[in-house]
Structure 1
Amino acid sequence: MWPNLAYDMTYWQSAAGALGAAALLFRRRFPFTVFLCTLPASLILGLLFAPFVALFTLAERSRDRKLLVGCALLSGVVSSVSWLLSGEASEEHTYSLVQSAYLLAIAVTPILLGQLVQTRRDLARRLIEIEQRREHERALHEQTVLARERAQLAREMHDVVSHQVSLIAVQAGALQVATKDPDARETARTIRSLSVGTLDELRHMVTLLRASGGRATELSPQPTLADLRRLVATSGIEAHLTGELPPDIGTPAQRTVYRTVQEALTNVRKHAPGATATLRLWHDAGHFGVDITNTAPTRISLPLPGSHHGLIGLRERAELLGGTLNSGVTPEGGYQVRLRAPLATE
């Protein structure tokens, strides 16, 4: 009878060990089931390696803290029972408590290591996400800067290029009407036609370039108040400049005044042929500005295309200075543009 019992125990020990070892092959796919399959080997053979590996894998993959605590207690209890059944237990209670605590610590250790690995993996993933977010924000910043540069370029194209081309168109139209030479009239008509086409293409380009958030730094070289009288003298219309501005206003403010005058004179040439313009520079204790007022037109204006971005750009410039830009028809039938900004703009 005893030999058969010994044979049965050996059989069950071998079966438990084989089950625990085989189950470890599937620990990554079924970590909890594999842990349960390793408990017989721990109970019958007193093996701690298989439950240790299974618990580590379970703790590495699971986020259920209650499940992990329960598995750690279960593993500690099974190890304590196996130790008691082995006959190595001592009658001294202190030793038994120390051994039980030791077995429980062994059961908790893989849980802590698995959670540590899981936390490290989460941190690494989080760092990757943060880096990706920074790259995304960096790309958005670059797009914003590009949009502002496009808007600034559109504003400069309208202020500078259209100013010159519209003057060419106006002068060519005037020559076409005044000359009696057929060849000169045809040449003037061609120049005016090309100028009008150029203005129309410029309008499309400005529309494409204008993007949101276009408040970038000015392009160089940029005009100042010293260039204002030359601008008025070469405007192609009868214009009178009076008043003056403080000599210590900042460069952005000077550019804004210049561009305002330039745009206003361009509009007078385009939409009020034969009109005269009066430009008044002014300042008081807290503000400065310029008023551009033109009389009613004396001739029918030529059908030149308009981009409708001039006053928008001027208002943006005025807002950058903390000021305002107002425009409207005068009671006499003319038109007035008024820029007003605080002196402390720097």
Structure 2
Amino acid sequence: MEWYTALCNSRWKNTVLAVVYGIPLVDIALVVPDAGLVPDRTAGLLISLAIAVTTVWRERFLLPYSVLSAAGVMVTGHLLSTTLACYTAVRKGHSVLATVLVLVSLVFALATPESLIAHAPHPEATFFGAAVIVLVPVLMGCLAKANRKMAELTAERQAREALLQEGRLREAALRQRERLVRDIHNGVGRQITLMVLQAGAIAVRKDASAPVKDGCRLISDAGRDAVHALREIVVLAKTPDPGEVPPAERRHTLADLAPVIGRYRDGGRPITINVHISPVPPDPAAQDLAYKVVAEGLSNAARHARSAAVDIRIHQTGTELIVTVANEVPPPDSDPLPGTGHGLAWLREEVRSAGGALTTAPAPGGGFVLEARLPLPGDLAPRPASLTQENP
């Protein structure tokens, strides 16, 4: 039955039905031309053809099609002319129209010479046959209507089940995310707190040297920043209440790079920075991305090239902001620290989402270069550079 399903879903189904329906209509009109009120073969043939042709548009113009079908019964005297109109009216839910078609057909069946009681040898059988011809399409229309209703109910039930399944999956994902955040808080958060407390305890000891105290203060400051970032992650990642508004994401500026670079310098790392921007600074989104690029570059350099010098360049043109972080060749005895392996991938995805490009490659003389090209709004026309800052 696959061919039948394909035909029902095809745009040619009404045309095929018109041909199949028109063949018996035309055949009856030619074989029995004097059964109706107009005993003329040509008239019966024309109205039968008209009914067959308009069958293609019967659903769109049901009322004119029904009137034409009723006229076909009167002209030809054959009840087959209204069968498809009755079926369509019932299937579409036009019960009044279907009732009128049935009554017209049955009343006319009693009035035509073919089934008139005075002329028919077996009038009861004749009328019963007429009733079958008229009522069978009505019954089929009721079945089609019920089948369509069942299909709609099934589709609605499946849609509800899909929504429930989606809700269950979302709830499971939220529970998993909440469990992950709790594990991060209990594991990483406690370890960072312990590091900050130990560094603070060493920094206040009287027998500690000044470099040791400075290093401990640097560890304490970095740990507090890490705890603050972890708190923001926990707030953003926890399961929100329906009426809870998530906090707005913090956006950094180029000025926020000063304390970050200062901490790396306090740790003994030589860092040079060259900032070259126009009088109109970059938009906040570009500044935030530039901050993230520099922070990721410094973090990677600290892990993989501990004491190597780092050069940071931020250059603004009329159309983009170019951020470059390059580190020199690390000492041969340096031992790289492990990382998560996702920082550059996430940063590249964020830069790409903003319409920019992030490239990473070894430097020609050794070392490593991280460069990001961040697009700027089109209304920023090119202007001569007015600020060039270089810090040793």
Scaled to the shorter chain, the TM-score interval is 0.5 to 0.7
Shift of 1:41: 2.5
Higher alpha-carbon deviation: 124-133 or 164-173: 124-133
Partner secondary structure for residue 77 of structure 2: coil
**Amino acid in the other structure paired with 1:191:** I
Query: Take 1:23 and 1:157, find their aligned partners in 2: how far apart are those partners?
Result: 71
**Amino acid in the other structure paired with 1:20:** I
Shift of 1:177: 0.8
Query: Take 1:22 and 1:196, find their aligned partners in 2: how far apart are those partners?
Result: 83
**Amino acid in the other structure paired with 2:203:** Q
Corresponding residue number in structure 2 for 1:156: 183
TM-score by length of structure 2 reads 0.47
TM-score by length of structure 1 reads 0.52
Structure 2 counterpart of 1:72, from 102, 123, 130 = 102
Query: Take 1:74 and 1:92, find their aligned partners in 2: how far apart are those partners?
Result: 21
CA contact (8 A) 2:79 2:130 kept: no
Corresponding residue number in structure 2 for 1:27: 58
Q: What are the equivalent positions in structure 2 for 1:33-182 lying under 5 Å apart?
A: 33-60=64-91, 62-82=92-112, 85-86=113-114, 89-91=116-118, 95-179=122-206, 180-182=208-210
Q: Deviations over 1:42-75 (max 9, x none)?
A: 2232223321122222222x21333322322222
Q: Deviations over 1:86-141 (max 9, x none)?
A: 4x645499932342233123211111112212221232233223222222221121
**Amino acid in the other structure paired with 1:131:** Q
CA contact (8 A) 1:150 1:209 kept: yes
CA contact (8 A) 1:16 1:41 kept: yes
Partner secondary structure for residue 192 of structure 1: helix
CA contact (8 A) 1:27 1:34 kept: yes
Query: Take 2:132 and 2:55, find their aligned partners in 1: how far apart are those partners?
Result: 22
Shift of 1:158: 2.1
Corresponding residue number in structure 1 for 2:238: 210
Corresponding residue number in structure 1 for 2:216: 188
Q: Deviations over 1:196-243 (max 9, x none)?
A: 121111111111211148xxxxxxxxxxxxxxxxxxxxxxxxxxxxxx
Q: Structure 1 residues 181 and 10 mapped into 2: Cα distance closer, same or farther (>3 Å)?
A: closer
Query: Take 2:39 and 2:108, find their aligned partners in 1: how far apart are those partners?
Result: 21
Q: Which has the higher helix share?
A: 1
Query: Take 2:56 and 2:198, find their aligned partners in 1: how far apart are those partners?
Result: 91
CA contact (8 A) 1:24 1:50 kept: no
CA contact (8 A) 2:110 2:127 kept: yes
Query: Take 1:44 and 1:8, find their aligned partners in 2: how far apart are those partners?
Result: 8
Partner secondary structure for residue 64 of structure 2: helix
Which ranges in structure 2 are unaligned for 5 or more consecutive residues?
1-37, 242-392
Q: Structure 1 residues 119 and 8 mapped into 2: Cα distance closer, same or farther (>3 Å)?
A: closer
Give the % identical residues: 20
Matched residue count: 204
Query: Take 2:40 and 2:187, find their aligned partners in 1: how far apart are those partners?
Result: 100
Q: Structure 1 residues 198 and 96 mapped into 2: Cα distance closer, same or farther (>3 Å)?
A: same
Q: Structure 1 residues 8 and 149 mapped into 2: Cα distance closer, same or farther (>3 Å)?
A: closer
Q: What are the equivalent positions in structure 2 for 1:195-274 lying under 5 Å apart?
A: 195-212=223-240
CA contact (8 A) 1:148 1:212 kept: no
